[in-house]
Amino acid sequence: MNNEYDAIVLGGGGAGLMCAAVAGQAGKRVLVIDHADEVGKKILISGGGRCNFTNIGAVPERYISANPHFAKSAMGRYSARDFIELVEKHGIAYHEKTLGQLFCDGSAKAIVAMLLDECEAGGVTISLERGIGEIGHADGRYSVAYGDQTASAPALVIATGGPSIPKMGATDYAYGLARRFGMSIVEPRPALVPLTLGGDETLFRDISGVAADVKARCGKTAFREAALFTHRGLSGPAILQVSSYWRNGQPVGIDFLPDAPAGWLVAAKRVRPRSFLRNQLAAVLPDRLADMLWQRIGLYGDLNSMTDAVLGDVERMLSDWQFVPNGSEGYAKAEVTVGGISTDGLSSRTMEAKKVPGLYAIGEAVDVTGWLGGYNFQWAWASGWAAGAAI
């Protein structure tokens, strides 16, 4: 059997399959190696089984990276519009759910089937259920042992993703391999992940299951979406979003009433001086949350018994309630990994290692992480396309 290829792609997730299909359709002989029993497992479970496959607002500013400019080139050359065209070409029905997030009307399986069709059109060979063994590099060629075989090619693509959700076969393999070739790693950490609360804040466990539309903030970055109280702490889209920016020890601020105009409590006092703070809160927040906040504020008299200054303080408290998470739920629950293979060593146009010709890194393995809402797949498609076109 001829085991010589033009490119070997390690990892058959979204990025690896896109790269393989593009290179294959350009006439390259491509081998994809994945240790899983099927390709695209994260695609299959994404978006509640409907795959939020892109976001029409996927601009580079909505990505986190030590080099915020890195994603511009690949994302400019392969945009959300390009992926939507591919989806439409394959007759996959889709809809916008919210905030530019595009989901399949049916199952995420359609996206995997589409990528496999594209790979087939490019004559791509896919090897599953065989781990990656020894990797060699000599005379401008890479050799990769897998199972009882060895393949070789002048191009090797690292597309094994990040360590989020290890029970699905996710590993940090990419980092070790990149280091071996002299590339550096931006410290990885779990992202798009629920945050945990300890100490006094565990009292909020009593309202586990309650969700509210809030503005959550970490440092200068804020997201207006739902937050959810859980048995362990805080979750929901607003919290997942800020978790990607959060560092140990930092507070997360929550504006429980993002639509309330300044002075609303003082105005309420003028209209209903005998009403209680609790009732004012319950009128605009879920009942159990209103109760918890009221108890924590600890002002039990009617509004008339409170000065305007005190009510102003309460408003400020409610608009920037400070939680200091004691951690996150870690890689077991993280949708993605922030950090990864440093972009310093990569060409932003082709994803090729600047100092190791023929070596490429794409997708989540690289230090580019998107917001929640289809942004991470768009990076997988764009970076995979850039490498596939360059091979």
Exposed, middle or buried, 333 (CB in 10 Å: 0-12/13-18/19+)?
middle
Strands 359-361, 156-158: pairing kind = parallel
Among residue numbers 30 through 49, which ones bind ligand FDA (CB under 6 A)? Answer: 34-36, 41-42, 45-47
Site for ligand FDA contains 225 (CB under 6 A): no
Site for ligand FDA contains 71 (CB under 6 A): no
CB closer to ligand FDA, 111 vs 289: 111
Site for ligand FDA contains 11 (CB under 6 A): yes
What is residue 364's DSSP assignment? G
The closest alpha carbon to 384, from 115, 37, 90, 169, belongs to 115
Site for ligand FDA contains 236 (CB under 6 A): no
- Phi/psi of residue 229, nearest 5 degrees: -85, 135
Site for ligand FDA contains 15 (CB under 6 A): yes
CB closer to ligand FDA, 236 vs 363: 363
Number of DSSP helices (H) and strands (E) in the chain, helices first: 12, 22
CB closer to ligand FDA, 61 vs 259: 61
Among residue numbers 247 through 306, which ones bind ligand FDA (CB under 6 A)? Answer: none
CB closer to ligand FDA, 51 vs 186: 51
- Phi/psi of residue 119, nearest 5 degrees: -65, -45
Exposed, middle or buried, 211 (CB in 10 Å: 0-12/13-18/19+)?
middle
CB closer to ligand FDA, 64 vs 265: 64
CB closer to ligand FDA, 12 vs 236: 12
The closest alpha carbon to 142, from 131, 155, 125, belongs to 155
Among the listed residues 7, 14, 20, 228, the single contact to ligand FDA using CB under 6 A: 14
Beta-bridged to residue 10, according to DSSP, are: 33, 158
Among the listed residues 104, 132, 311, 314, the single contact to ligand FDA using CB under 6 A: 132
Least Å from the CB of residue 237 to ligand FDA: 12
CB 253 within 8 A of CB 321: yes
Least Å from the CB of residue 145 to ligand FDA: 12
Least Å from the CB of residue 137 to ligand FDA: 18
What is residue 28's DSSP assignment? -
Among the listed residues 253, 345, 374, 388, the single contact to ligand FDA using CB under 6 A: 374
CB 117 within 8 A of CB 103: no
Site for ligand FDA contains 335 (CB under 6 A): yes
Among the listed residues 75, 156, 376, 388, the single contact to ligand FDA using CB under 6 A: 376
Site for ligand FDA contains 13 (CB under 6 A): yes
Q: What is the CA radius of gyration of the chain?
A: 24
Coil/strand/helix, residue 283: helix
- Rounded to an integer, what distance in angstroms lies between the CA atom of residue 75 and that of residue 365? 16
Query: What are the CA-CA distances from residue 214 to residues 217, 256, 283, 321, 373 (Å)?
Result: 10, 5, 15, 11, 17
Among the listed residues 169, 286, 327, 330, the single contact to ligand FDA using CB under 6 A: 169
Query: Which residues of the shown chain bind ligand FDA in the complex (CB under 6 A)?
Result: 11-16, 34-36, 41-42, 45-47, 51-52, 131-132, 159-161, 164-165, 169-171, 173, 335-336, 363-365, 374-377, 380
